[in-house]
C-alpha cells in the first residue's frame, strides 16, 4: 500500500500509507536535546505536526527543518515535533 503526494508539482509514491489529517496518534516517548523525555501529554491542547527526517547533522535536513519550523510558526495553537535518529547530543 502506498500514498501519492505531490512535491513541487511532481507525484511521489510513498512506501506505506500516511495518516490522514486528524488521525489519533498513540502515545510516544522521545528524548529532547536536554535529555528530557517528551510524551504526547507534553503537547496537550495543541495541534501537533511531526517533521520526521534522518539526521539534523546533514545540511539538507538542517535547512529543511529550519524552513519547516519557519513556515509552521504561522499556525495557531500548533507545535512542531521534529523527530530524527540523532542522539540527543547532536541536537544541541
The question of whether 61 is a catalytic residue gets the answer yes
Catalytic residue among 49, 61, 65, 91: 61
CB atoms within 10 A of CB 29: 8
- Among candidate residues 30, 18, 16, 22, the one with its CA nearest the CA of residue 47: 22
At 30, is the secondary structure helix, strand, or coil? strand
Could you list the active site residues? 61
Amino acid at each position: 500500500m502506498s500514498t501519492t503526494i505531490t512535491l513541487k508539482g511532481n507525484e511521489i509514491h510513498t512506501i506505506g500509507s500516511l495518516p490522514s489529517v486528524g488521525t489519533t496518534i498513540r502515545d510516544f516517548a522521545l528524548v529532547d536535546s536536554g535529555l528530557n523525555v517528551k510524551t504526547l501529554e507534553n503537547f496537550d491542547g495543541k495541534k501537533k505536526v511531526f517533521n520526521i527526517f534522518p539526521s539534523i547533522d546533514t545540511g539538507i535536513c538542517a535547512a529543511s527543518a529550519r524552513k519547516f519550523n519557519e513556515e509552521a510558526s504561522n499556525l495557531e495553537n500548533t507545535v512542531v515535533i521534529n523527530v530524527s535518529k540523532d542522539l540527543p547530543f547532536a541536537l544541541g
